[in-house]
């Protein structure tokens, strides 16, 4: 009998161009996504060396990181503007398809890949962005690369990679009502730490993962990098196939059905062995809130912020002290008593239609707390358009949220969407590092539902105990 | 890139774990379109106050660390974003070698593509280097040929680096040129797989 294999091994083996004992493998790349921030130096490198883009047809570019999300026709920031213009010029020169700021396909690169059906099971996908792991939700091997590697992939459509170790993160049981994919991934990182995945590719398995929608799976895989793993993926199943059916870049009819069978056959074989495995019980997970300055510093919404006495060793004492100081917290107070000034619903973690729908259900019929400034930034142009068709924009706007154009926005605050120094933001993004949302800004990572509830109450609340009007 | 074989330099100790790339170079400096000139922004939010003045309480600004070229830090160095601006900034500031117990994968790779040598030592060895460098001006030598770090007071530690990366760094090779020697195989793969 054939040796059972993980999906990771199957994809890897299918993409080896060159193998030499004791060296990394040369892997073929099926899809290369490009954005304005990590590509200019790569194109410049091609030009200097008189090289071409080998497969423009396997390359796709967009603008997301520093696009304005309001008043798009005038870009005030000259440096951002240059970066966008540079991408446009580079794409024209090298023949790379581009969804620029005014294009209907524009959006956060990890939102539009799946939306257009460019992201497919079994593909190797890279992008000069660490959250490329998002595409793993489809059973693709997708990982972030640096700019030198971007140049390398542009020139050769390949990349040198050491075969990664495999790690099975098994999620047993079911998530409770009001507990989301975001809470799940935060709880995983909270439990196992911000570097337990370093050197591994994670496969998420178990009942709670199977139950997730594609949007939920993307949220989980998106944050693999916050656990240190370059890639995280989920074996394809019917949920995957149904999501992709009818998308622009997948075939139709019989061809699709055949492809769907091939995709499902990629799933990890029964009895395949991983290098490492960890387990977590879904039913024990509560809605999560981060209190500190990395995503592992998270607690259930019902808990108190830790104090230095909770540290296990000296280094951890220092870390907690520094994080509490930066976050302006005492330690020991209930996280639910912490008041916020900003709410950001957006980012490649939580800005898809399903995220906005769920958040809007919480918001419906309420008003944003007078002390809070709240913004919603859809992940793509098309998410925005669809949400507007469904009237979701009106629910947010009537409640007092700002409704913006698509982009990364306040996730990393490269444009004007910045949290001021010392102020606090409930954010559906993925990083709560010092200064991430603005110098001195204090970020608390939460799910879209939790962010919506915090916007209304002005502090964190357990969404499970909110009296939510039943959506009609 | 510039080859690196043996490097002797002044050690700068940064005794923190999980230093992320947002700390190494904040995003407001990622808008440039060249590879040069990022050194002035390295650790910006730690080195400068909100008015843009140098902060004397941040150690890298102290006279005793001026001219440093070897950065020693805590575990999981370079976590977070894939921005290669982080190694560009470190290199442009003057760092040729980084020593830490562990690194984030993408950052580690990015270093080796830019002629920065990322050395992994044990927690204890790193702590020794940090203690020495905090106490006084402290120099070490890093020898990639024999994969060792040593000082002139008896400290010596070995490190590992895979042969491929080692060869690239020792020779300062252009990786794309190396890959293109496999052009035949890439074309074959494309023909077989559409
Ligand atoms: S939304 Fe945030 S994390 Fe995602 S790609 Fe944009 S900046 Fe990066």
Three-class SS state of A60:
strand
Residue of B14, B31, B32, B111 for testing the chain A interface, max A β-carbons within 10 Å: B31
Instruction: Taking each helix axis as running N to C, give the angle between helix A353-363 and helix A214-222, from 0 to 180 degrees, rounded to the nearest 10.
Output: 100
- Confidence (pLDDT) at A2: 82
Q: Whose CA is closest to B100, among B130, B77, B128, B129?
A: B77
- Confidence (pLDDT) at A1: 67
CB contact under 8 A, B84 and A41: yes
CA nearest ligand 1 atom 4, residue: A348
Query: Residue A218, class by beta-carbon neighbours within 10 Å (0-12 exposed, 13-18 middle, 19+ buried)?
Result: buried
Contact A227, A298 (CB under 8 A): no
> In which element (H, E) is residue A343 found?
strand A342-345
Q: Is the pTM of the predicted complex or chain greater than 0.80?
A: yes
Residues B87 and B100: their CA atoms lie apart, in Å, by: 15
Residues A239 and A241: their CA atoms lie apart, in Å, by: 6
Residues A195 and A189: their CA atoms lie apart, in Å, by: 9
Q: What are phi and psi of A71, to 5 degrees?
A: 45, 60
Question: What are the DSSP calls for B128-157, one per residue?
Answer: HHHHHHHHS--EEEEETTTTEEE-TTS-EE
Tell me the count of A-B CB pairs closer than 8 A: 162
Sheet holding A231-233, edge to edge: A231-233, A200-205, A165-172, A276-281
Distance A269 CA to ligand 1 centre (A): 33
Contact A218, A140 (CB under 8 A): no
For ligand 1, mutation pick of A129, A225, A377, A433 (most atoms within 8 Å of CB): A129
Closest atom, ligand 1, to C-alpha of A346: 1
As for the ipTM of the complex, it is 0.91
Question: What are the DSSP calls for B81-135, one per residue?
Answer: ---THHHHHHHHHT--EEEES-B-HHHHHHHHTTT-EEEE--HHHHHHHHHHHHH
Q: Whose CA is closest to A66, among A51, A77, A52?
A: A77
Residues B56 and B47: their CA atoms lie apart, in Å, by: 8
Give A229 to chain B, closest Cα distance, Å: 8
Contacts of B34 in chain A (CB under 8 A): 40-41, 44
Nearest CA in chain B to A412: B27
Q: Whose CA is closest to A129, among A62, A195, A84, A215?
A: A62
Contacts of A230 in chain B (CB under 8 A): 105-106
For residue A304, the 8-state DSSP code is B
B33: nearest CB among A83, A160, A436: A83
**The two structure tokens encoding residue A70:** 């309001």
- Confidence (pLDDT) at A472: 40
Residues B61 and B48: their CA atoms lie apart, in Å, by: 9
Distance A228 CA to ligand 1 centre (A): 16
pLDDT tens, per residue, chain B with 194 residues: 889 999 999 999 999 999 999 999 998 888 888 888 999 999 999 999 989 999 999 999 999 999 999 999 999 999 999 999 999 999 999 999 999 999 999 999 999 999 999 999 999 999 999 999 999 999 999 999 999 999 999 999 999 999 999 999 999 998 999 999 999 999 999 999 97
Give B66 to chain A, closest Cα distance, Å: 25
Residue A50: HSE in the Cβ half-sphere, 13 Å Cα cutoff: 0
Domain boundaries, chain B: 6-193
CA distances from A41 to A60, A149, A196, B36 (A): 17, 11, 32, 10
Instruction: Taking each helix axis as running N to C, give the angle between helix A40-48 and helix A78-94, from 0 to 180 degrees, rounded to the nearest 10.
Output: 50
Sign of CA dihedral B1, B5, B8, B13: positive
B31: nearest CB among A83, A130, A144: A83
Residues A74 and A3: their CA atoms lie apart, in Å, by: 59
Residues A293 and B81: their CA atoms lie apart, in Å, by: 15
Go through chain A and tell me how many residues it has.
472
Residue of B41, B43, B48, B84 for testing the chain A interface, max A β-carbons within 10 Å: B84
Q: Say how far residue A117 (Cα) sits from the centre of its chain.
A: 17
Give A238 to chain B, closest Cα distance, Å: 25
Query: Residue A242, class by beta-carbon neighbours within 10 Å (0-12 exposed, 13-18 middle, 19+ buried)?
Result: exposed
Sheet holding A16-18, edge to edge: A16-18, A25-28, A158-161
Contact B59, B10 (CB under 8 A): no
Contacts of B20 in chain A (CB under 8 A): 294, 431, 433
A145: nearest CB among B106, B176, B193: B106
Which residues have C-beta atoms less than 6 Å from ligand 1?
A 64-65, 108, 110, 129, 131, 347-348, 408, 411-412, 429-430
For residue A199, the 8-state DSSP code is T
Give A389 to chain B, closest Cα distance, Å: 34
Residues 17-76 of B with CB under 8 A from A: 17-18, 20, 22-23, 26-28, 30-35, 45, 50, 74-76
Cβ atoms < 10 Å from Cβ of A246: 10
Domains, chain A, ordered by start: 7-277 (3.30.499.10), 288-465 (3.30.499.10)
CATH number for the domain whose boundaries are B6-193 = 3.20.19.10
**The two structure tokens encoding residue A77:** 């920031």
Distance A408 CA to ligand 1 centre (A): 5
Query: For tokens 């290369």, what's the residue?
Result: A32
Contact B115, B91 (CB under 8 A): yes
CB contact under 8 A, A37 and B83: yes
Residues 116-155 of B with CB under 8 A from A: none
Contacts of B18 in chain A (CB under 8 A): 194-195, 294, 319
Give A78 to chain B, closest Cα distance, Å: 10
- Confidence (pLDDT) at A471: 41
Contact A202, A6 (CB under 8 A): no
Q: Are strands A298-300 and A288-290 parallel, antiparallel or unpaired?
A: antiparallel
pLDDT tens, per residue, chain A with 472 residues: 689 999 999 999 999 999 998 889 999 999 999 999 999 999 999 999 999 999 999 999 999 998 999 988 888 888 889 999 999 999 999 999 999 999 999 999 999 999 999 999 999 999 999 999 999 999 999 999 999 999 999 999 999 999 999 999 999 999 999 999 999 999 999 999 999 999 999 999 999 999 999 999 999 999 999 999 999 999 999 999 999 999 999 999 999 999 999 999 999 999 999 999 999 999 999 999 999 999 999 999 999 999 999 988 888 899 999 999 999 999 999 999 999 999 999 999 999 999 999 999 999 999 999 999 999 999 999 999 999 999 999 999 999 999 999 999 999 998 889 999 999 999 999 999 999 999 999 999 999 999 999 999 999 999 998 864 444 4
Query: For tokens 């926005």, what's the residue?
Result: A409
Contacts of A199 in chain B (CB under 8 A): 105
Query: Residue B15, class by beta-carbon neighbours within 10 Å (0-12 exposed, 13-18 middle, 19+ buried)?
Result: middle
Q: Are strands B117-120 and B97-100 parallel, antiparallel or unpaired?
A: parallel
Residues 157-176 of B with CB under 8 A from A: 162-164, 174-176
Contacts of A38 in chain B (CB under 8 A): 82-84
Contact B23, B43 (CB under 8 A): yes
For B72-107, the pLDDT digits (tens) are 999 999 999 999 999 999 999 999 999 999 999 999
Asked if B181 is an interface residue toward chain A (Cβ–Cβ < 8 A), one would say no
Contacts of B182 in chain A (CB under 8 A): 17-18, 26, 158
Q: Whose CA is closest to A351, among A435, A267, A417?
A: A417
CB contact under 8 A, B30 and A37: yes
Query: Residue B122, class by beta-carbon neighbours within 10 Å (0-12 exposed, 13-18 middle, 19+ buried)?
Result: exposed
CA distances from A236 to A61, A152, A216, A438, B115 (A): 26, 29, 14, 38, 39
Residues 4-23 of B with CB under 8 A from A: 16-18, 20, 22-23
């Amino acid at each position: 009998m054939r040796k059972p294999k993980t999906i990771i091994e199957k994809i890897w083996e299918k993409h080896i161009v060159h193998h030499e004992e004791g060296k990394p493998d040369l892997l073929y790349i099926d899809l290369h996504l490009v954005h304005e921030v990590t590509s200019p130096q790569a194109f410049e490198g091609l030009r200097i060396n008189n090289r071409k883009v080998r497969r423009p047809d396997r390359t796709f570019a967009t603008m997301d990181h520093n696009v304005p999300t309001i008043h798009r026709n005038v870009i005030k920031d000259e440096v951002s503007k240059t970066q966008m213009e540079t991408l446009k010029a580079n794409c024209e020169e090298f023949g790379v398809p581009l969804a620029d700021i005014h294009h209907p396909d524009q959006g956060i690169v990890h939102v539009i890949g799946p939306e257009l059906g460019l992201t497919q099971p079994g593909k190797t996908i890279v992008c000069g962005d660490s959250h490329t792991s998002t595409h793993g939700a489809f059973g693709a091997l997708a990982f972030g690369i640096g700019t030198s590697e971007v140049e390398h992939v542009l020139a050769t459509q390949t990349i040198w990679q050491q075969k990664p170790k495999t790690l099975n993160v098994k999620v047993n049981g079911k998530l409770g009502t009001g507990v989301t994919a975001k809470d799940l991934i935060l709880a995983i990182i909270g439990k196992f730490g911000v570097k337990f995945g370093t050197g591994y590719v994670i496969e998420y398995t178990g009942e709670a993962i199977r139950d997730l929608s594609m949007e939920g799976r993307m949220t989980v895989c998106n944050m693999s990098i916050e656990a240190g793993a370059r890639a995280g993926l989920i074996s394809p199943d019917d949920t995957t196939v149904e999501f992709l059916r009818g998308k622009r870049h997948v075939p139709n009819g019989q061809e699709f059905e055949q492809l769907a069978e091939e995709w499902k056959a990629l799933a990890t074989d029964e009895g395949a062995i991983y290098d490492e495995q960890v387990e977590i019980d879904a039913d024990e997970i509560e809605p999560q809130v981060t209190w500190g300055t990395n995503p592992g510093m998270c607690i259930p919404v019902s808990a108190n912020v830790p104090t230095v006495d909770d540290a296990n060793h000296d280094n951890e004492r220092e870390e907690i002290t520094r994080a509490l100081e930066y976050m302006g917290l005492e330690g020991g107070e209930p996280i639910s008593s912490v008041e916020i000034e900003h709410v950001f619903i957006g980012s490649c973690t939580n800005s898809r239609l399903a995220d906005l729908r769920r958040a809007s259900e919480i918001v419906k019929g309420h008003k944003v707390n007078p002390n809070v400034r709240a913004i919603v930034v859809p992940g793509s142009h098309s998410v925005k358009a669809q949400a507007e068709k469904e009237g979701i924009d009106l629910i947010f706007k009537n409640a007092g949220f700002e409704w913006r154009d698509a982009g990364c926005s306040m996730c990393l605050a490269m444009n004007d969407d910045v949290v001021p120094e010392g102020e606090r933001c409930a954010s559906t993004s993925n990083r709560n590092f010092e200064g991430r949302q603005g110098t001195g800004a204090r970020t608390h990572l939460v799910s879209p539902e939790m962010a919506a509830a915090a916007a209304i109450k002005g502090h964190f609340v357990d969404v499970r105990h909110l009296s939510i009007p039943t959506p009609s | 890139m510039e080859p690196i074989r043996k490097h002797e330099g002044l050690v700068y100790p940064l005794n923190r774990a999980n230093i992320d790339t947002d700390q190494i170079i904040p995003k407001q400096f990622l808008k440039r379109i060249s590879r040069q000139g990022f050194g002035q922004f390295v650790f910006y939010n730690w080195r400068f106050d909100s008015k843009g003045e140098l902060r004397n309480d941040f150690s890298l600004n102290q006279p005793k660390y001026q001219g440093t070229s070897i950065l020693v830090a805590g575990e999981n160095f370079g976590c977070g974003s894939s921005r290669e601006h982080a190694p560009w900034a470190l290199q442009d500031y003057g760092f040729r070698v980084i020593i830490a117990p562990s690194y984030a994968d993408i950052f580690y790779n990015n270093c080796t593509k830019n002629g920065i040598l990322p050395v992994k030592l044990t927690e204890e060895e790193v702590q020794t280097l940090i203690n020495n460098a905090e106490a006084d001006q402290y120099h070490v030598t890093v020898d990639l040929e024999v994969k060792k770090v040593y000082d002139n007071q008896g400290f010596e530690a070995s490190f590992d680096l895979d042969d491929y990366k080692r060869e690239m760094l020792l020779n300062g090779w252009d990786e794309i040129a190396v890959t293109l020697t496999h052009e035949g195989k890439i074309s074959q793969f494309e023909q077989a797989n559409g």
